[in-house]
């Protein structure tokens, strides 16, 4: 394989990378919104979301074992649905991966500005982008080490918060241990609506597959890491939501978006609340590292395939063999965050991600149709579960606003026009076609 990057990442490193991308403390940040929407059963919403996302994770695990390359959904679709479909899926994935770093940096900067208002948000944005890019350009060794430290800190912060919640609950009148799971105010409609929001917390589990060519044993470790990230992340989200819900029964808050800060004061005091807030910001730096690295690897792979100009996107530089151009391009795009709206950008990410998830599940079914006569394949694992996952992802797509869906479709149309130019009006083969035919 030309210009391959050196394999360095163990199963532990891959799992930590995926958890960093998802950000273990995220459940604390969005707890108030989930609790209010579900009428006080936030842990049930997170548990349902875990199960729903696990369906897609199973498909990613299957395909990453079959195709241990860094192209992720783009490559799976190209191999199993054809180069044209592969391009469309890759273009959709690009929408998510190019906006994800910008949103991560912007959110980090907003929280830092709230804690240290002397520095404006745009100032923190420049600092965040600069620090993250300096680390990622230096190579995967430093990025991996820093990711591990920050993710361990993030998990420790969540466990500390759980400990304070346990201490608080022990000294309060009990409302019943099943109350946060289902109570007299609960409805199936409220639960599914909250689970749909909670599902957004799991975006990024697929990012592990973009590191297939940097894994020590990709066929074994990438599938395991994907499933570990979803399972560990989901259980952690559910556990912290359960104890937070026990500490604050019901779904009523003065402000759902600041509910975690108010609850931190309630269970541990002002100093503890400030520490949790600042600690969450520091831990979030790991997520910024992970999203920039995964986006750069996808750009590198698509450049190597000829979908993007190889002269720029398929180059690995320095002793660390990093795609410096891609990392700098992503950093430059992050500057758009200075005037961006977080909600709109995040919604565009959701459009690209859920479309890609649905496509990956279609790929699993396509593989079953192609190979079922050559080998024994489970109809449940290769057809039923993927069909359920497709339904989940299309439902989540339908919840996005009309404006976001139209913007996403416009992005796909732009991709079609780019493909038309790339193939001289479709008179030349789609990039990657020769490899598929061979």
User: What CA–CA distance (Å, rounded) separates 231 from 228?
Assistant: 5
Burial of 425 (0-12, 13-18, 19+ CB in 10 A): exposed
3-state helix, strand, coil in the chain (%, to 5): 80, 0, 20
* CA distances to 144, 213, 228, 387, 422 from 216, in Å: 14, 8, 17, 32, 35
Closest Cα to residue 413, out of 33, 107, 131, 91? 91
Q: What is the pLDDT of residue 434?
A: 41
Q: Kindly list the domain boundaries of the chain, sorted by start residue.
A: 11-437
User: What CA–CA distance (Å, rounded) separates 218 from 69?
Assistant: 8
User: What CA–CA distance (Å, rounded) separates 109 from 347?
Assistant: 19
User: What CA–CA distance (Å, rounded) separates 257 from 29?
Assistant: 8
SS3 per residue for 256-311: HHHHHHHHHHHHHCHHHHHHHHHHHHHHHHHHHHHHHHHHHHHHHHHHHCCCCCHH
CB-based contact 283:157 (threshold 8 Å): yes
Q: What is the pLDDT of residue 438?
A: 39
Kindly give the parts of the chain with pLDDT less than 50.
1-5, 7, 433-438
CA max distance for the chain? 73
Helix, coil or strand: residue 427: coil
Helix, coil or strand: residue 320: coil
- Fold designation for 11-437: Amino acid/polyamine transporter I (1.20.1740)
DSSP, res 229: H
CB-based contact 211:129 (threshold 8 Å): no
Helix, coil or strand: residue 317: strand
Closest Cα to residue 93, out of 333, 365, 360, 410? 360
Closest Cα to residue 328, out of 101, 14, 140, 23? 101
């Amino acid at each position: 394989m030309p210009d391959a990057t050196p394999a360095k990442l163990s199963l532990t490193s891959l799992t930590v990378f995926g958890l960093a991308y998802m950000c273990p403390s995220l459940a604390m940040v969005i707890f108030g919104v989930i609790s209010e929407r579900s009428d006080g059963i936030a842990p049930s919403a997170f548990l349902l979301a875990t199960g729903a996302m696990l369906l897609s994770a199973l498909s990613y695990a299957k395909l990453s074992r079959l195709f241990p390359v860094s192209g992720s959904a783009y490559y799976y679709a190209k191999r199993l649905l054809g180069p044209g479909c592969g391009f469309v899926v890759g273009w959709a994935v690009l929408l998510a991966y190019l906006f994800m770093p910008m949103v991560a940096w912007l959110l980090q900067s907003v929280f830092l500005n709230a804690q240290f208002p002397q520095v404006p948000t745009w100032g923190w944005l420049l600092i965040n982008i600069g620090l993250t890019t300096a680390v990622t350009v230096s190579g995967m060794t430093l990025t991996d080490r820093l990711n591990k430290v920050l993710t361990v800190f993030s998990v420790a912060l969540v466990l500390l918060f759980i400990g304070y919640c346990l201490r608080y609950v022990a000294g309060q009148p009990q409302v019943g241990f099943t109350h946060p799971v289902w109570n007299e105010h609960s409805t199936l409609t409220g639960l599914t609506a909250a689970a749909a929001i909670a599902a957004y917390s799991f975006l990024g589990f697929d990012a592990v597959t973009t590191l297939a060519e940097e894994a020590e044993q990709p066929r074994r470790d990438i599938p395991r890491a994907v499933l570990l990230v979803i399972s560990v992340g989901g259980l952690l989200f559910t556990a912290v939501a359960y104890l937070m819900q026990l500490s604050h029964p019901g779904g009523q808050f003065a402000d759902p978006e600041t509910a975690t800060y108010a609850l931190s004061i309630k269970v541990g005091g002002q100093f503890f609340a400030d520490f949790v807030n600042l600690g969450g910001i520091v831990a979030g730096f790991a997520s910024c590292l992970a999203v920039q690295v995964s986006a750069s690897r996808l750009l590198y792979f698509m450049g190597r395939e000829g979908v993007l100009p190889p002269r720029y996107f398929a180059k690995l530089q320095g002793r660390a063999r990093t795609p410096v151009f891609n990392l700098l391009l992503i950093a430059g795009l992050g500057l758009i965050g200075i005037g961006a709206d977080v909600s709109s950008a995040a919604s565009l990410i959701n459009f690209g991600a859920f479309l890609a998830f649905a496509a990956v599940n279609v790929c699993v079914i396509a593989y079953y149709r192609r190979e079922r006569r050559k080998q024994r394949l489970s109809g449940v694992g290769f057809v039923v579960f993927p069909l359920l996952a497709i339904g989940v992802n299309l439902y989540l797509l339908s919840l996005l606003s009309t404006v976001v869906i139209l913007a996403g479709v416009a992005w796909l149309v732009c991709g079609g026009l780019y493909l038309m130019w790339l193939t001289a009006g479709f008179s030349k083969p789609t990039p990657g076609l020769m490899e598929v035919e061979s």
